[in-house]
Chains A and B, each alone.
Chain A
Amino acid sequence: MHNEIPIAGIFAKLRLYMGLLQGFEVDGDSMYPSLKNGDRVLIDERSTLGVGDVVVALHPFKTSVKIVKRVSSIEPNGKISLIGDNPLESSDSRSFGSIKRTEVIGKVVFRLT
């Protein structure tokens, strides 16, 4: 399941300006074709998560790295599995396992391009 990411309007940009949303720039092609290298996205830390949502999360063992992936499943214990839309170019839960909910920074709610 792939939930679509709408393009940000002026109100979404104002929410970013006010600090209610966070902006991230995508580096790499693991989310191609949904997100391309250089695309900019806005995330909401408060959104509820579901399978099919795209999220920005902390890498489980690279402390300085944040990753953007899609939620492929949510286990009964709350742990979340992530996968790239372009699995051949992606390191995700297939290699590092599921992550904790607290490691998800937020859900991608808008894209700028």
Chain B
Amino acid sequence: MFETLKNKLAANFETAEAHCDGPCGVYDPAQSRIEAESVLQLTKKILDLKRPEGDDKAFAAYQNTLTRYITIKEQRAELTKHHLLVLWTDYFKPAHLEKFPDLHETFWTAAKLCSSCKQEVSLEHAQELMDAVKKVHEMFWSSKDKEVPWYTAS
């Protein structure tokens, strides 16, 4: 009788919404991963770039390439921060803190690393940013009880 009652009870629950009218409710840390990966790759490219000797034309081309690398690194680091902040402030909720007590520290560190990657040409900080984004990836999918393996495009 109790099993029947339990099954009957389980089937009878409608949904009562308790959230804000968010725009779409679609979140994925892959957005921040792609941008952080670009920051890492651009940091490598900047460090690998060799200054040409002599020829003015070659020097102009070098400056153009270097400027583009720096500009794109700046933009991608800002986009990484943007996507991380959306997850932090819109997706994650107070209830998640119970499961992830270091949630705020993780996002705060990741956001700070985005700034470091803009200010510096640091392979170490670019890799630390990727590591922080990987941790966000793990927390995010764990919060949804889904197993989504971490991967990178490069």
Contacts and interface: CB of A to CB of B under 8 A. Distances in A.
Interface of A: 13-14, 16-17, 22-33, 35-37, 40-41, 56, 59, 65-69, 84, 86, 89-91, 95
A29 B19 contact: yes
A96 B81 CA distance: 33
For the complex, would chain A's binding face be called helix, strand, loop or mixed by DSSP majority?
mixed
A56 B16 contact: yes
- Which 7 pairs across A and B sit closest by C-beta, in order of nearness? A28-B19, A28-B18, A68-B16, A24-B16, A30-B18, A23-B13, A29-B93
A41 B9 CA distance: 11
A89 B16 CA distance: 15
Interface of B: 5, 8-9, 12-21, 93-95
Nearest to B98: A36
Given A32-B94, A36-B95, A27 B17 contact: yes
Contacts of A66: 14-17
A27 B20 CA distance: 11
Nearest to B89: A88
B95 A13 contact: no
B20 A91 contact: yes
Contacts, number: 78
Given A25-B13, A33-B94, A86-B94, A13 B18 contact: no
Nearest to A92: B20
B19 A89 contact: yes
Given A30-B18, A90-B18, A23 B12 contact: yes
A13 B20 contact: no
Contact of A17 (B9, B15, B17, B95): B9
Given A29-B95, A33-B94, A68 B19 contact: no
A13 B9 contact: yes
Contacts of A91: 19-21
Contacts of B5: 13-14, 17
